[in-house]
């Protein structure tokens, strides 16, 4: 079974195996990193979303992280107890809750982000500049393809 555009069945099998292995290893890496900041992997994934935006509605967090409202509520409560995020209730519709970073978390987020970059740099530092550029291109392509798949599923 050959697809003229991309590759043979064996190549798809290899990609499938490598993606599973990459996912498994990334989970281990993220668990280790999260524990250094007294966070669970779920808390880390949630709070890392705030690198790009200041607030998120609970519904959007559920969709982005593919978690149930109950699980998101649990993560938000835990991060709220750590004084890293705050809930804001929409007074017109109390069911609409928005989550934002707390004042305390601004410095924490900068440290977290810089540490995450450094953590990944140490893992990838042995790649040549050319291989690094290729890796970034391939990862960007995979992310875009997976985003499209998620959107259309």
Q: What is the pLDDT of residues 31-62, one digit of tens each?
A: 999 999 999 999 999 999 998 898 999 999 99
- Would you say 101 and 113 are in contact if contact means Cβ atoms under 8 Å apart? no
3 vs 79, which has greater pLDDT? 79
Domain that holds residue 115: 2-152
**Rama region for 66: left / alpha / beta (φ>0; ψ in -120 to 50; rest):** left
Backbone angles phi, psi at 50, to 5 degrees: -80, 5
At residue 6 the predicted structure's pLDDT band, cuts being 50, 70 and 90, is: low
pLDDT value at residue 104: 85
Which of 40, 44, 39, 58 lies closest to 100, judged by CA?
58
| pLDDT exceeds 70 at position 4 | no
Question: Which residues make Cβ contacts (< 8 Å) with residue 101, sequence separation at least 6?
Answer: 50, 54, 84, 85, 86, 109
CATH classification at residue 32: 1.10.10.10
Instruction: Report how many domains make up the chain.
Output: 1
Q: Kindly report, residue by residue over 62-116, the tens digit of the pLDDT.
A: 999 999 999 999 999 999 999 999 999 877 777 788 999 998 898 899 999 999 9
Helix (H, G, I), strand (E, B) or coil at 144: helix
Q: Exposure of 44 by Cβ count < 10 A (0-12 exposed, 13-18 middle, 19+ buried)? A: buried
2 vs 11, which has greater pLDDT? 11
């Amino acid at each position: 079974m050959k697809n003229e555009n991309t590759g043979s069945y064996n190549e798809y099998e290899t990609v499938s195996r490598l993606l599973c292995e990459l996912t498994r290893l990334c989970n281990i890496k993220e668990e280790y990193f999260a524990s250094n900041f007294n966070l669970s992997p779920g808390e880390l994934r949630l709070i890392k979303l705030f690198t790009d935006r200041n607030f998120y509605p609970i519904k959007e967090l559920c969709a982005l992280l593919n978690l149930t409202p109950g699980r998101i509520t649990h993560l938000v409560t835990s991060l709220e107890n750590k004084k890293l995020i705050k809930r804001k209730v929409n007074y017109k519709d109390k069911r609409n809750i928005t989550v934002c970073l707390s004042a305390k978390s601004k410095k924490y987020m900068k440290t977290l982000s810089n540490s995450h970059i450094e953590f990944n740099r140490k893992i990838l530092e042995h790649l040549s500049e050319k291989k690094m550029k290729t890796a970034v291109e391939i990862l960007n392509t995979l992310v875009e393809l997976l985003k499209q798949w998620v959107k259309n599923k």
